[in-house]
Chains A and B, each alone.
Chain A
Amino acid sequence: MSVTYIDAIHEAQLELLREDERVFLYGQDIGSFGGAFKATKGFKEEFGSRVLDSPISEDAMVGMAVGAAINGMRPIIEMQFADFSSVAFNQLVNQAGTHFYRTGIPIPITVRMPCGGTPGSGPFHSQMIESIYAHYPGLVVVTPATVSDAYQLLKESVELDDPVIFCEHKFLYRWLKSANLKGDALPLGKARLTRAGKHATVVTYSAMVHEAVRAADRLAKEGWEIEVVDLRSVKPLDIDTVLASVARTGRLLALGEGFPWGGVTSEVVSRVVAEGFHLLDAPPLRLNAKDTPIPYHPDLWAAHRPTPESIVEKLRELLNL
């Protein structure tokens, strides 16, 4: 049996729709078409009015979800691409994000965001948006890297009473396969030690976890043992697991596919420096995408984001310090 990352998302939603009638789906092309990535294939036939095609109105989609949540529903909004969520930015950060703080009433919406680049996807179909939503209070931001995490964390996100920005990585949709749908059931909020090591720690999330493991495998041939920590959610950020890893290795590389200014990698480094300064044997490093819009041409795109090669180079720099 082989389950892909998108299969896991499909299965999670199927179970949620079946088990909880408060759950409904709203998004563009998610009805009989089954969604741009087929994440909702077959749902319209089974669940009818709980799976609705929305107009191209990201702002209204999220505002509507907030209203429905006030009245006890658990909507899942599918953004066709994370890049388009910027149209809904106001509703996400100001309506959904502030609601509990201001009124005491939680907003249990889940907004699914297909993030990350694929070759040729270009500047507006490739963005990683976890940092901007994590910046605003009141939102939970989840970034699964594995098939079983995609399944389990989506289920947990919908069951959580707070608004969740669920960052799915498009490239992992069909490329990432696993023999198992269910994994170690690590709860939302805990990071996972993907690969144990000794000489340096790479802290990362989403698709970059796999790139980091590839880089680690290469360095293993030279005798370096690199530890990889998968954050699984960037907010909440499991800094304890990160610190425990840095305590073992003394060296940190924070790795992400997002843009370099600020963001998850900066947050990780600043927390480790503040709380674990005495653990560091070398200055902590960061590796992100370049500070430009994401290029279209596959060769440019491949150079824009971290790759196993560039991760290896950065790790060599870190190990050399």
Chain B
Amino acid sequence: MPQVPIIMPQLGESIAEARIVRLLIAVGDTVVVDQEIIEVETNKATMGVTTLCGGTITELRGEEGEDYAVGTLLGILEASEEEIERTGSPVLGEREEDTEKESSKDEENLHFRSNDSSYEEPVLIEPSVRGLPVPAGVKGAHYISPRMRARMDELGLQAADISAIAGSGAGGRVTVEDLEKFLDYIQEWPRSSASPMRLAVADAMRRSWTRPFASVGLPIPMDKLLEYRSRQNPKPGLTLYVLRAFAIALSEEPTTAGFLIGDKVVHPRAFDLGVAVQVEDGVMVPVLRNVDQHRVSELSREYDELVKAGRERRLTPEKTSGGIATVTNFGTFGLKWGTPIPLPNETLILGLAAGIKTPKWSDEVGAFIPVTETELCLTFDHRVVDGGGAGMLLQRVGQLLQEPEKL
């Protein structure tokens, strides 16, 4: 026979428990629906617990004179199926909470359940922390929270500095905890201070790197140039000839040195070119003005002075600003090729690699002849210039360098 629970009801707004004053029935008694079976007393009044249906009392757990919390199982009533159907009474076993309940007077806080005297944990499916949806704007490796930002500012860090950290936040973002762990980790490693020059270069490169660069290289025969130069007195720097050829080539196609701002390509106003000068722990780039309009012989002295000033770190801001492109000679280190990075305010940089004596087939002679070749490496902003344009520019520079007397 189905069993109906007899529960201590909620007999007032803030009532938590009540005392059984009198049991009006005993085990084995037959009862009808709505019959008062237990007299209870709260601090406001005396009331009666009534039956939900008719049947037989099979169990009584409550005792006279004792206090029971609201929701406690006080007894069990057995009723027929029809009676259950007719009255719609709840039946034991349908809900697990009905059985085995201890009334707990010390239970602190249960105010989200109606008939419980103890708190039952519903079975939870535990989702993984990472699986929950996160708004797009606050996840991903690029997202830096305000707290991260503040901490990084405090430590003088840039986003590039923490590229080594694999973030544990949503979408792989780096959280402050990740950052602190990382900093603790590298605390052990040997270190030296970065000089102001180093930091200045770092900052310039970081700013420059926001553009999509590509590099192309073209080997150029240098014999004619080298031979012509050796007959000059005084001898102009080799890089100066390249500078001059570069300037002339650019003046013929100004858009290749253009700057993209929005939907406009801003053309150079003057062909001022810089030359990279390596100093102790960095690079300085003095700028020569209107290189397209002056011959090498005219530029030579200024060039030497600027390079010297550069090495001695005596360059003023006017001397290093306003260039539209730069030439860098890393051939002096024996390098065969390179992918230099333009300055943040420029879109082109032309690298001059080392001259190497290479056997080249000569149709005229019908044999391999030695040719001193150097690779001209051009890095360009691919938003403004494509491979073809870059290639043509290099071809032109190479062409000009075969007639050094005209430079």
Direct chain A–B contact by Cβ atoms under 8 Å:
yes
Determine the distance from Cα of A211 to Cα of B109 in the docked complex, in whole angstroms: 8
Contact of B148 with A316 in the complex, beta carbons under 8 Å: no
C-alpha spacing A117/B29, complex, angstroms: 38
Q: Which of B91-117 contact A (CB under 8 A)?
A: 106-114
Binding stretch for chain A, among B31-39, B138-146, B379-387, B394-402: B138-146
Bound Cα distance A173, B44 (Å): 14
Task: Tell me whether B16 and A211 are in contact (CB under 8 A).
Answer: no
Known contacts: A37-B14, A120-B114, A320-B129. The answer to whether A210 contacts B149 by CB under 8 A is: no
Cross-chain contact A170 with B139 (CB below 8 angstroms)? no
Contact A37 B129 (CB under 8 A): no
If the complex has contacts A281-B176, A309-B122, are A316 and B147 also in contact, measured as CB distance less than 8 A? no
Interface residues on B, range: 35 or more
Chain A min CB distance to B355 (Å):
55
Complex Cα–Cα for A320 and B108 (A): 30
Contact A320 B130 (CB under 8 A): yes
Determine if B110 and A175 form an interchain contact, defined as CB atoms under 8 angstroms apart: yes
Q: B21-58, CB under 8 A of A: which get 1 and which 0?
A: 00000000000000000000001100000000000000
Number of interchain pairs (Cβ within 8 Å): 98
Is A319 among interface residues, defined by CB-CB distance under 8 A?
A: yes
How far does the alpha carbon of A307 sit from the alpha carbon of B119 in the complex, in Å? 12
In the complex, chain A residues whose CB is within 8 Å of the CB of B113: 119, 298, 302
A176 touches B146 (CB 8 A): no
Query: Is B175's beta carbon under 8 Å from chain A?
Result: yes
Confirm or deny: A278 has a beta carbon within 8 angstroms of a beta carbon on chain B: yes
Report Cα–Cα, A279/B154, bound state, in Å: 12
Contact of A279 with B147 at beta-carbon distance under 8 Å, contacts A174-B16, A317-B132, A320-B134 already known: yes
Contacts known (A118-B111, A281-B176, A298-B114); A36 close to B147, Cβ less than 8 A: no
Contact with B along A160-186 (1 / 0, CB 8 A): 000000000011111111000000000
Nearest Cβ distance between residue A29 and chain B, in whole angstroms? 11
Q: Does chain B have a CB within 8 A of A214?
A: yes
Residue from B108, B127, B130 whose CB has the most chain A CB atoms within 10 Å = B108
Which residues on A sit within 8 Å (CB–CB) of B150?
278-279
| CB-based contact B130/A280 at 8 Å | no
Partner of A38, one of B43, B108, B109, B170: B43
On whether the beta carbons of A281 and B175 are closer than 8 Å, the reply is yes
Option from A38, A277, A309 in Cβ contact (under 8 Å) with B44: A38
Contact B14 A320 (CB under 8 A): no
Cβ-defined contact, B122 with A250, below 8 A: no
Task: Give bound CA distance, A309 to B127, whole Å.
Answer: 13
A321 touches B129 (CB 8 A): no
Interface hub of A37, A174, A207, A302 (most chain B Cβ within 10 A): A174
Of all chain A residues, the one with the shortest Cβ separation from B126 is A222
The reply to whether the CB of A232 lies closer than 8 angstroms to some CB of chain B is no
User: Is the C-beta of B13 less than 8 angstroms from some C-beta in chain A?
Assistant: yes
* Bound complex: CA A108 to CA B147 (Å): 43
* Chain B contacts for A317, CB-based, 8 A: 132
Say whether A210 contacts B16, CB under 8 Å: no
- A306 vs B169: C-alpha distance in the bound complex, in angstroms? 26
Among A6, A175, A298, A316, the residue within 8 A (CB) of B109 is A175
Supposing A6-B14, A37-B14, A280-B145 touch, asked if A316 and B127 sit within 8 A by C-beta, the answer is yes
Task: Please indicate the chain B residues that have their CB under 8 angstroms from the CB of A307 in the complex.
Answer: 112
The reply on A187 being an interface residue by CB < 8 A is no
Nearest A residue to B150 via CB reads: A278
| Binary contact track B2-27/A, C-beta < 8 Å → 1, others 0 | 00000000100111110000000000
Interface check A283, CB cutoff 8 A: yes
Asked if A112 is at the interface of the complex by the 8 Å CB criterion, the answer is no
Q: Which of B10, B43, B122 contacts A120 (CB 8 A)?
A: B10
Q: A281-B147, A321-B139, A321-B170 are in contact. Are A316 and B129 (CB under 8 A)?
A: yes
- A121 contacts the other chain (CB 8 A): yes
**CA of A121 to CA of B12 in the docked complex: distance in angstroms?**
9
Residue A305 interfacial (CB < 8 Å): yes
Answer whether A174 and B170 are a contact pair too, CB < 8 Å, given A302-B113, A316-B127, A321-B139.
no
Closest chain-B Cβ to A79's Cβ sits at a distance in Å of 14
Please determine whether A171 and B14 come into contact, CB atoms closer than 8 angstroms.
Answer: yes
Shortest Cβ gap from A85 to chain B (Å) = 17
A280 with B146: CB separation less than 8 A = yes
Pick from B106, B112, B169: contact of A211, CB below 8 A: B112
- Residues of the B chain whose Cβ atoms lie less than 8 Å from the Cβ of A174: 14-17
B145 touches which of A36, A282, A309 (Cβ 8 Å):
A282
Contacts A119-B10, A170-B14, A282-B145 given; indicate if A319 touches B129 (C-beta within 8 A). Answer: yes
Contact with B along A280-321 (1 / 0, CB 8 A): 111100000000000000110010010111000000110111
Q: How far is the CA of A117 from the CA of B14 in the complex (A)?
A: 10
Q: Which 6 A-B pairs have the closest CB atoms?
A: A278-B150, A298-B114, A119-B114, A171-B111, A174-B16, A210-B109
Which residues in A have some Cβ–Cβ distance to B below 8 Å?
A: 6, 36-38, 117-121, 125, 170-177, 207, 210-211, 214, 250, 277-283, 298-299, 302, 305, 307-309, 316-317, 319-321
Residues of B in contact with A (beta carbons under 8 Å apart): 10, 13-17, 43-44, 106-114, 122, 124, 127, 129-130, 132, 134-135, 138-139, 145-150, 169-170, 175-176
Of the A-B pairs whose beta carbons lie under 8 Å apart in the complex, a sample of 27, sorted by A's number, is A37-B14, A38-B43, A119-B114, A120-B114, A121-B13, A171-B109, A171-B111, A175-B109, A207-B109, A210-B109, A211-B112, A277-B146, A278-B147, A279-B150, A280-B145, A280-B146, A281-B147, A282-B145, A283-B138, A302-B114, A305-B112, A307-B112, A308-B112, A320-B130, A321-B138, A321-B139, A321-B170
